[in-house]
Amino acid sequence: MSPADLLVIRAVRQAGPWLAALAATALLGAAAELLLPLALGRTLDALVAGGPGSGRWLTVSALLVALVAACDATGVLASGVSGARSALWLRRRVVTHTLAVGTAMTRHAAPGEIVTRAGVNVEEAGRTPEAVVTAAALVVPSAGSVVALALIDPWLAATLVAGLLLIVGVLRAFVRRTTAASGGYQQAQGEIAARLVGALAGARTITAAGVEEREARRVLAPLPRLRAHGLDLWRLQARAGVQAAVVVPLLETAVLAVGGLRLSAGGLTVGELLAAARYVVLGAGLGSAVGYAARLARARSAAARIERLLSVPPPSYGSRPLPPGPGRLDLRGVTVRAEDGATLLHDVDLVVPGGACVAVVGRSGSGKSSLAAVAGRLVDAERGTVLLDGVPLPEIGRRELRRAVGYAFERPALFGETLGDAVAFGQPAHDARRTFEAARAACADPFVRRLPLGYFTPVADAPMSGGEAQRIGLARAFAQAERLLILDDAMSSLDTATERQVARALTGSLGDRTRLVVAHRVATAARADLVVWLEDGRVRATGRHEALWEDAGYRAVFQEPPAPEEDPAQEDPAQENASREDRAREDAAREHTPRHDEARDDRARRDAGAGAALT
């Protein structure tokens, strides 16, 4: 049995008592339908014979009809609730697992594809209880009809069995082909959703470039394939329906023909022939399972897509507590690779002293963000070890690790109902004092307090620039980090004055914890206690900024031209570029930074180094 089928079974079980209610009503309704032909036959025989029992059998027939109707109504309710419970369990598991895996999940599926699987595919898989129980319930009348006909006349039962074997063959082929076609249809759906999410992320760039029609064509490129798979599904269902429509009447005709011969020979009564006619209709009702078989096929293919998400293992955490320590970070032979096998970090050996402020610099693609990610275990190293105060990160408990390490990013995503919640996000308990202190350190407190509702301003209603959003992200990291604070280009949108104030906080009120800062600005590197210079995923040099400034290659890191614009489909809507004024100030800082060559004397070098340190 495949993992997808096991997932379907587990989803069916999550329906709980409603699954039992659905099964009970289906079986009870099937039993009533089996008894109804017998009661009708006895009623007809009693009426023909003119006996006194006709009224009793007529009452029984009426009660059986009422029971079938009641079972149908109850079954509709039980089917809806059981499907909703199964879908709830599946969706909760998919969302929880996706968030537990984290950013690694996007290496296996695009965000739009993940949303499709957690939405449409979960709904399709959630209909499994109804499809399974109803399909199984259809077997009961068929099997019961064979038994009842065998009791009436064995020849009638043999004729029905031969026809049912043909119907079963049609259904098996239909389920197999529909499962494959459904998988292709759902894959095309996911691709369109993934492209649309990417296009929405870069909507401003698309509009500015005037390429809406071209992007629409790109997003809808899988549409012909979606149409082809959809037509395949309709053709398969139509073919199976036609086959069933041909087989069922032929089967009924064959049984009635045999029954007529037996009646003329005196082997059957008129009532038994009527009962046989009803039983063959019930038995041939297995052909109506085509629709439920289609649902089951789509549920199986949807479950296979969901299972591929659930098969991605989340990171495992240990239970070792962190000993008292200053937040020393050790990377020993750390190698990190991308999903396509490209090396992002190669055999990195690095010691970040506890309590130090360390700037990480390098050209685009040198591995700065990868170093920041592996330092706090947003990703795991393929080879090597990362330790915090002597404890390997995988051995630390999840909650303790996340309390010890705080992150701020270039494009922060703000969670929580209010701005106060956004700053306190991730804390085990909302500490107002800690929140306000972190906001002041990040220079977010003044603009938040200027808002009419202050920290109670809903995030969705807060008119924030990119720099202000970065300050909220910084405040969140400051409030969370107890030992290690990692800033991944988290001050890129701040103006120079604000960046200097935050930098003073990093060396002042936040000086009791280790700070790892991915930097692009000369001033940020100059203020750091230590600079780590990365190149092609390796540590090229470490040291003080003024010492490294002697190297022309190091100076070139800060003179690198801007990276080419990202593809609009990959742009993050939360990104806010630094203002032209900020860029001008940064350029001015570079221009005032002394340049060196081998002809300068020692005094000129010392003066230039000091000038760089003060920039």
Domains of the chain: 3-310 (1.20.1560.10), 329-579 (3.40.50.300)
pLDDT mean across residues, the chain: 82
CA R_g for the chain: 36
Dist. CA 197–CA 203, nearest whole Å: 10
Residue 58 has pLDDT above 90, yes or no: no
- The letter for the amino acid at 1 is M
Residue 594 has pLDDT above 70, yes or no: no
Question: Band of the pLDDT at 571, cuts 50, 70, 90?
Answer: very low
Residue 531 has pLDDT above 90, yes or no: yes
| pLDDT per residue as tens digits for the range 23-48 | 888 888 878 887 887 788 778 777 77
| pLDDT per residue as tens digits for the range 473-499 | 999 999 999 999 999 988 888 888 888
| pLDDT per residue as tens digits for the range 75-115 | 888 888 888 889 999 999 999 999 998 888 888 888 888 99
- pLDDT mean over 182-198: 88
- The letter for the amino acid at 367 is G
Secondary structure of 279-306 as H, E, C letters = HHHHHHHHHHHHHHHHHHHHHHHHHHHH
- In the numeric block, which tokens belong to residue 117? 């699987």
Of the two residues 423 and 135, the one the predictor is more confident about is 423
- In the numeric block, which tokens belong to residue 588? 């001015």
What residues form DSSP beta bridges with 334? Answer: 348
Q: Is 103 exposed, middle or buried (0-12, 13-18, 19+ CB in 10 A)?
A: exposed
Phi, psi (5° rounding) for residue 347? 50, 55
Give the pLDDT score at 561.
53
Question: Band of the pLDDT at 290, cuts 50, 70, 90?
Answer: low
